[in-house]
Structure 1
Amino acid sequence: MGTVWDPIADGSEIVGILNSSKRNNRRPARNSYTSPQRSTPSSGGGSFFAHVKSALSWTLGLGIGAALLVGLGVGGLQLHRLATTSEFFAIKRVEIRGTTHFSREEVLKAANLQSGVNSLTVNIADVEQGLRDNPWVLSVAVKRRLPDAFEIRIRERIPAFWMLKDGVLYYADNRGQIIAPVNVGNFLSLPTLEILPGGEELLPQMDELSRAFQAAHLPVNMASVSLFRVSAAKGFEVFIENRNLVLCIAAEDWDANLRRLSLVLSDLARRGELKTAREVWAADGNVWVVEPENV
């Protein structure tokens, strides 16, 4: 018996298959949206081990750093101990400059520097302070010259006068500041400074006045000055011993008074009358000359 073929039925089936295939191959619309698929959460085991590994690395690094610091500290202490006990740094030479009024032995004693002592153990500030305690020292600078030497530079106070105080004769500077007692070991012949009532207020001008006297080129030998007196009454009095002459300068406007005094002294010397003068006094814009018969 033969097979009967139904074109209508078969045709519709074929059409249905074709339509289904077209729907499956159709592209999504341009403005269509397809929600993403959610991933399944993974296990937390890997994250935990990563944190543990990071913590271990940090702890290990910290431990190594601490060990290095301890090692450096111990090594530094050992190095310091070796350096401060080594003969290589023992003091062998001390160079001293600027001293006139006290000896090398006095400087070393004041500085507390001894040959053979390790130079690294010496405190520079202590050395300078010990030297400043000496009344002759105005300023001091100390330098360490490794490995075995020191350099000491001293600026001394300059004595300008003798000054009697409480029965003791002292050296004093140009400002009338006491330096040290006069003794045989540091003897210098200097004029005596005498301070009368009110003279203390004039002492700050002493240094400038002394320099001005030296620069004025007066026709008298300033090396023959035996006494320098300061008072409120007469200002500054200078006694010239070899001429038996007293020069007086009023404290007020003393620089102008000194210029007038210099002119008058030069005129007296030119006329040969200076040798008869006993006192020349400059004050208030005038200069007075006192002769022996008028004293």
Structure 2
Amino acid sequence: MKTFYITRHSKKKRKLSLRVIFSFILSIFIIILSLFFILKIYTYLTTTSFFAIKHIKIYGNKILTDNDIKSFLNLNLGDNLLSINISELNYKLYTNNWIKSCLIKRELPDTVTIYVEEKEPCFLLLDNKNNIFYADINGNKISKVYSSKYISLPILKLRTEMDKNILKNIIVAFKEKRFPFSLDQVQHIVVDNFQTEFFIKDIDTAIFLENNDIRRESIFLSKVISDLSAKRELNKVNRIIVIGNKIWVSYRRHFLKP
């Protein structure tokens, strides 16, 4: 009797094991079949002409052209909208020297929209090797200057990286309109630890300021230029030097009195 029970129990156990194995194999088959169909659907969606890109809309660019951005991203009309990686495109565009911020969106069924904010060039920065770069308001390099993308800006020369701190004070003075001329009127600025040189193109005059107190020196400079203008002598001056509360004015030779 005991032997019969064990035999019967073994058969049930064997049947149960076979069911488990069959269920496992069936599950694997279903998973593989599902993955196969998913892959087929994915391949179809990422290759079908229904999702081909027909419009690439770009907003906010002033320096970079639409073609510059599309070429940089290797993004073309006819590419499948679902096959492009939006995160990778955003990251790639952000690495462009001109881009301050960007956002790329996919709009079904056929449009890519790109929003960019570009860095604003304020100077042509001349480095110690005489290479010329576009630079922002703080004197940081943006991109090399090429003839195909030339923008007329004041030339900036910084003797050392530390001179950027002095430049910041100068820019603050311009923003507060402490100088008797605007940044647009400046042809070039040379900044070093001891002095800052401006050349003002409208009056053809070089101006030198000691860097101890830019705000105070700009006030003295404004008074001198105002006085020279009132006397109609400003066009006769080729150099103005401001050191502390002392000012030197140099006249052009042909305007000097005998």
TM-score, normalization by structure 1: 0.69
Deviations 1:70-92 (A, max 9, x none): 11111111101111121111001
Question: By how many angstroms is 1:144 displaced?
Answer: 2.1
In the alignment, is residue 289 of structure 1 matched against residue 253 of structure 2? no
Residues 233, 54 of structure 1: alpha-carbon distance in 2 compared, 3 angstrom cutoff = same
Question: By how many angstroms is 1:111 displaced?
Answer: 1.6
SS at the partner of 1:220? coil
Q: Provide the residue aligned with 2:53 in structure 1.
A: 91
SS at the partner of 1:239? strand
SS at the partner of 1:121? coil
Q: Provide the residue aligned with 1:242 in structure 2.
A: 202
Q: Which of 188, 197, 211 is residue 227 of structure 1 equivalent to?
A: 188
Residues 146, 69 of structure 1: alpha-carbon distance in 2 compared, 3 angstrom cutoff = same
Residues 210, 177 of structure 1: alpha-carbon distance in 2 compared, 3 angstrom cutoff = farther
Q: Provide the residue aligned with 1:10 in structure 2.
A: none
Q: Which of 21, 45, 48 is residue 59 of structure 1 equivalent to?
A: 21
Q: Does the CA contact (< 8 Å) of 2:51 and 2:109 recur in 1?
A: yes
In the alignment, is residue 77 of structure 1 matched against residue 39 of structure 2? yes
Question: By how many angstroms is 1:143 displaced?
Answer: 2.3
Q: Provide the residue aligned with 1:31 in structure 2.
A: none
Residues 73, 178 of structure 1: alpha-carbon distance in 2 compared, 3 angstrom cutoff = closer
In the alignment, is residue 162 of structure 1 matched against residue 124 of structure 2? yes
- The gaps in structure 1 that reach 5 residues or longer are 1-39
CA distance in structure 2 between the partners assigned to 1:248 and 1:262 by the alignment:
8
CA distance in structure 2 between the partners assigned to 1:202 and 1:57 by the alignment:
78
* Percent identical: 22
CA distance in structure 2 between the partners assigned to 1:219 and 1:230 by the alignment:
16
CA distance in structure 2 between the partners assigned to 1:58 and 1:191 by the alignment:
80
Q: Which of 100, 119, 124 is residue 62 of structure 2 equivalent to?
A: 100
Q: How does 1:122-161 map to 2 (within 5 A)?
A: 122-124=84-86, 127-128=89-90, 131=93, 134-161=96-123
Q: Does the CA contact (< 8 Å) of 2:194 and 2:210 recur in 1?
A: no
Q: Does the CA contact (< 8 Å) of 1:112 and 1:127 recur in 2?
A: no
Q: Provide the residue aligned with 2:171 in structure 1.
A: 211
Question: By how many angstroms is 1:239 displaced?
Answer: 2.4
Question: By how many angstroms is 1:142 displaced?
Answer: 2.2
CA distance in structure 2 between the partners assigned to 1:206 and 1:155 by the alignment:
27
RMSD: 3.1
CA distance in structure 2 between the partners assigned to 1:70 and 1:186 by the alignment:
55
Deviations 1:87-114 (A, max 9, x none): 1110011111221113212222222111
Residues 133, 189 of structure 1: alpha-carbon distance in 2 compared, 3 angstrom cutoff = same
SS at the partner of 2:160? helix
CA distance in structure 2 between the partners assigned to 1:91 and 1:41 by the alignment:
76
CA distance in structure 1 between the partners assigned to 2:26 and 2:38 by the alignment:
18
What amino acid does structure 1 have at the position aligned with 2:220? V
CA distance in structure 1 between the partners assigned to 2:2 and 2:92 by the alignment:
81
CA distance in structure 2 between the partners assigned to 1:107 and 1:97 by the alignment:
11
Number of paired residues? 241
SS at the partner of 1:64? helix
Question: By how many angstroms is 1:149 displaced?
Answer: 1.3
CA distance in structure 1 between the partners assigned to 2:62 and 2:90 by the alignment:
18
Question: By how many angstroms is 1:133 displaced?
Answer: 6.0
CA distance in structure 1 between the partners assigned to 2:101 and 2:163 by the alignment:
22
What amino acid does structure 2 have at the position aligned with 1:224? Q
Deviations 1:152-189 (A, max 9, x none): 22232222222446666543333242523242x53322
TM-score, normalization by structure 2: 0.78
What amino acid does structure 2 have at the position aligned with 1:148? D
Q: Does the CA contact (< 8 Å) of 1:172 and 1:180 recur in 2?
A: no
Q: Which of 259, 268, 271 is residue 215 of structure 2 equivalent to?
A: 259
CA distance in structure 2 between the partners assigned to 1:265 and 1:167 by the alignment:
30
- The gaps in structure 2 that reach 5 residues or longer are 254-258
Q: Provide the residue aligned with 2:154 in structure 1.
A: 191
CA distance in structure 2 between the partners assigned to 1:145 and 1:52 by the alignment:
57
In the alignment, is residue 171 of structure 1 matched against residue 143 of structure 2? no
Between 1:134-143 and 1:237-246, the stretch displaced more is 134-143
